[in-house]
A and B are shown apart, each in its own frame.
Chain A
Amino acid sequence: MRERGNHPNRRGVLKTGAAGVALASLGFPAIAQGKKIKLGYVSPQTGPLAPFAEADNFVIDGIREAVKAGIKIGNGTQPVEIIVKDSQSNPNRAAEVAADLILKDQVDLMLVASTPETTNPVCDQCEVNEVPCVSSVAPWQPWFFARGGKPEVGFKHTYHFFWGLEDVIAVFTNMWGQVATNKSVGGLFPNDGDGNAWGDKQRGFPPVLEKQGYKLTDPGRFQNLNDNFSAQISAFKAANAEIVTGVVIPPDLTTFWNQARQQGFKPKVVSIGKALLFPVVLEGLGDAGHNLSTEVWWTPSHPFKSSLTGASAKELADGYTAATKKQWTQPIGFVHALFEVAVDVMKRSKGAGERASILDAVAKTKIDSVVGPIAWGAGPVKNVAKTPLVGGQWRKGGAFKYDLVITDNKTAPNIPAGGKMEAIG
């Protein structure tokens, strides 16, 4: 309140008219110099989903450095402000902070990442408030269909890039094809958004597996944070399952895998989504994590580079390890790519405050990002652009305790494979 004298109050402006306006420009010199581009970013920095956002600070610091000179719009340069909000892993909170970014901060472009619990409420807010939004790091089906998207109409203001369920099914079955098994598969599908989608009898794993001659044993949906998998293990044993698949959270994978080994259940292949994304989870398994397999969206060996900084995937990952002393994780590439899209869009738009031109620029995006080419229009639906997905196994004995080795690239041959599938010993 100390600065009150410098700012115009309402009555003063009304009274003195033009003098008041002059005073205002004294109080806010930024207005005189030009507009500022505001990018809003929502991610789950705290709560159960926080591992996805662990690298956010590193990535965003890099982006701020890259755009510190501002973005050239027309004849002038507009500075860029990135406003970061935490969803606390809570969909309601995500919607709330998105509304704040839209209404209070008046962001020009919204960015959101990591799991449908974060992307969906934020995108819904943007759709309602007609703010352009780019989203990522959630399979596209739960992003599109769970928000009531109709394939023939699509959404107007919200765009998404990632892979879909069809890709993960293809990747997993390709990996299994490399190992000689009896084709008996045990499924671990929890009672959550991902589990229900993966285990869905029409759109999930079951129909594809049946077509390819696999026999699926799906004992049923279970609650997350399960302390006891003995029922599933005995069902898998009874079916003589040599492959286990599913999409579970890290603690459940560890409980299942330790209990399976206690009970003498030894499948040849274990391909699990979600739980095996982060290397710390593998480290927690001791030696028992060797050759567990998972879907791979991004690694330092992906042959792509940033359109913004020119850094290769490897340089980006090495930068993270150098800055944090931690092993790279897959979200690094995608969060970086999200800001690549944002900067590219703003460069092609009419700048701050021009939402219509920004939306138009989003729709016409065509860049080669650090996660691969991103362009809307050729995807399964209007608002979805797909990025490549391959499969990999975690192996011991590399630069880190566990290294993710790409073992199947049939779905994206331009991404080099680092080895062949090996059965779990």
Chain B
Amino acid sequence: MTGAIDTILQGTLLGGLYALFAAGLSLIFGVMRLVNIAHGDLIVLAAYTAFLAVQLTGIDPLSSLIIVVPVMFVIGYALQRGLLNATLGRGILPPLLVTFGLSIIIQNALLQGFSADSRKLLLGPFETASIPLGPDLAIGWFPLLIFATAVVVIAALQALLHRTRIGRAFRAVSDDPETARLYGVDHRHLFAMAMGVALAVVSFAGVFLAIRTNFDPAIGPARLLFAFEAVIIGGLGSLWGTLAGGVILGIAQTVGAKIDPAWQLLAGHIAFLLVLIFRPRGLFPRAVD
């Protein structure tokens, strides 16, 4: 029994990590229908930004978010305004190709700048501290922090989209860019803002990834797949759905691993496939799409 509870708990916590990886991706897709292949590499870029901040100023990795979030926001804004806006509105292929190229450029630029050494951010004893819940049951504080952050980040994004002026504008350009433009909404600026917010979210994913385990310039693309699956399981454009998608993926993987570690990824992919078969638009799709 403890084993089963442990499996579900660990899977849920893992899901928080996946949801955090996926939240930025989900937002970008929801607002401008852009599939960002470079998302995983942007997570790694955020990790390196945090690494640099920690090296230069000596602050602890969590506080480095004060620096990383604004830096990534600016990078996101500039990236969208200067490059990605030009790829939109010409079909699905140009943004795919450009972000794919971006992925390769980021990897190689990081390799040049930081070498291939495997890095990690240190958070001290907190990394391995845990809350004992029973003889064979414990929840790590750090995974719990990741999960809580995922919930808070998604709640904040949801509030941004539905309770603020800029959020209304995001939804307007997303629903109908032409009409929104007639009302004086500058979609180029808005898309750039959305990418900025998405990369601010990516900063959290990057910093937590960097504390959780080693990272190197080439590790990004592997993080992309789970983020995609979480977004699609949850339903395109739905932020709470992305959290649910991450948790479903995490639990499916942990249950699979319990049966045999070889089944860990397979179980996640099967859960993904089942959702695609029975709910092709995901579990919580947006009403109009």
Residues in A lying within 8 Å of B, measured CB to CB? 45-48, 50-51, 53-54, 89, 191, 219-223, 225-228, 230-232, 234, 237, 250-252, 254-255, 258-259, 261-264, 278, 280-281, 283-286, 288
Contact A251 B118 (CB under 8 A): yes
Binds A, one of B90-98, B228-236, B260-268, B273-281: B260-268
Contact A262 B214 (CB under 8 A): no
Interface assignment of B17: CB less than 8 Å from any CB of chain A: yes
- Central interface residue in B119, B215, B216, by most chain A CB within 10 Å: B216
Interface assignment of B178: CB less than 8 Å from any CB of chain A: no
Interface residues of B in 23-66 (CB under 8 A from A): none
Contact B128 A262 (CB under 8 A): yes
Partner of B118, one of A191, A221, A237, A250: A250
The 6 closest A-B pairs by CB, nearest first: A50-B116, A284-B120, A262-B140, A261-B128, A231-B257, A222-B261
Contact B116 A227 (CB under 8 A): no
Q: CA A366 – CA B17 in complex, angstroms?
A: 54
Shortest B254–chain A CB gap in Å is 6
Q: CA A407 – CA B213 in complex, angstroms?
A: 27
Q: CA A283 – CA B121 in complex, angstroms?
A: 10
In the bound complex, residues from chain B placing their C-beta under 8 Å from that of A230 are 6-7, 10, 254, 257
In the bound complex, residues from chain B placing their C-beta under 8 Å from that of A286 are 122, 124, 127
Closest to B18 in A: A227
Closest to B144 in A: A262
In the bound complex, residues from chain A placing their C-beta under 8 Å from that of B117 are 51, 54, 278, 280
Binds A, one of B80-88, B129-137, B151-159: B129-137
Q: CA A254 – CA B213 in complex, angstroms?
A: 5
27 residue pairs bridging A and B, Cβ less than 8 Å apart: A45-B116, A51-B118, A89-B218, A219-B261, A221-B261, A226-B264, A227-B253, A228-B11, A228-B250, A228-B253, A230-B257, A231-B261, A250-B118, A251-B118, A251-B213, A251-B215, A258-B142, A262-B128, A262-B129, A262-B138, A263-B138, A263-B140, A264-B138, A278-B117, A283-B120, A284-B118, A284-B122
Shortest A91–chain B CB gap in Å is 15
Partner of A255, one of B212, B257, B260, B264: B212
Closest to B218 in A: A48
Q: CA A46 – CA B226 in complex, angstroms?
A: 24
Shortest A46–chain B CB gap in Å is 5
Partner of B257, one of A228, A254, A262, A284: A228
Contact A225 B111 (CB under 8 A): no
Contact B10 A47 (CB under 8 A): no
Residues in B lying within 8 Å of A, measured CB to CB? 3, 6-7, 10-11, 14, 17, 108, 111, 115-120, 122, 124, 127-130, 132, 136, 138-143, 212-216, 218-219, 222, 226, 250, 253-254, 257-258, 260-262, 264-265
In the bound complex, residues from chain B placing their C-beta under 8 Å from that of A45 are 116
Q: CA A51 – CA B116 in complex, angstroms?
A: 5
In the bound complex, residues from chain A placing their C-beta under 8 Å from that of B219 are 48, 225, 251
A220-B260, A231-B264 given as contacts; is B130 within 8 A of A251 (CB)?
no
In the bound complex, residues from chain A placing their C-beta under 8 Å from that of B218 are 46-48, 50, 89
Q: CA A404 – CA B250 in complex, angstroms?
A: 37
Q: CA A228 – CA B6 in complex, angstroms?
A: 12
Contact A262 B124 (CB under 8 A): no
Contact A278 B118 (CB under 8 A): yes
In the bound complex, residues from chain B placing their C-beta under 8 Å from that of A264 are 130, 132, 138
Shortest B5–chain A CB gap in Å is 11
Shortest B114–chain A CB gap in Å is 11
Contact B14 A237 (CB under 8 A): no
Partner of B222, one of A219, A220, A225, A288: A225
Shortest A79–chain B CB gap in Å is 31
In the bound complex, residues from chain B placing their C-beta under 8 Å from that of A261 are 128
In the bound complex, residues from chain A placing their C-beta under 8 Å from that of B128 are 258, 261-262, 288
In the bound complex, residues from chain B placing their C-beta under 8 Å from that of A262 are 128-130, 138-143
- Central interface residue in B17, B116, B132, B139, by most chain A CB within 10 Å: B116
- Central interface residue in A47, A228, A252, by most chain B CB within 10 Å: A228
Contact B262 A46 (CB under 8 A): no
- Central interface residue in B10, B11, B254, by most chain A CB within 10 Å: B10
Contact A54 B115 (CB under 8 A): yes
In the bound complex, residues from chain A placing their C-beta under 8 Å from that of B130 are 262-264
In the bound complex, residues from chain B placing their C-beta under 8 Å from that of A285 are 120
- Central interface residue in B115, B118, B139, B218, by most chain A CB within 10 Å: B118
Q: CA A264 – CA B133 in complex, angstroms?
A: 12
Q: CA A222 – CA B14 in complex, angstroms?
A: 16
A225-B222, A237-B136, A251-B213 given as contacts; is B261 within 8 A of A232 (CB)?
yes
Partner of A259, one of B124, B140, B215, B265: B140
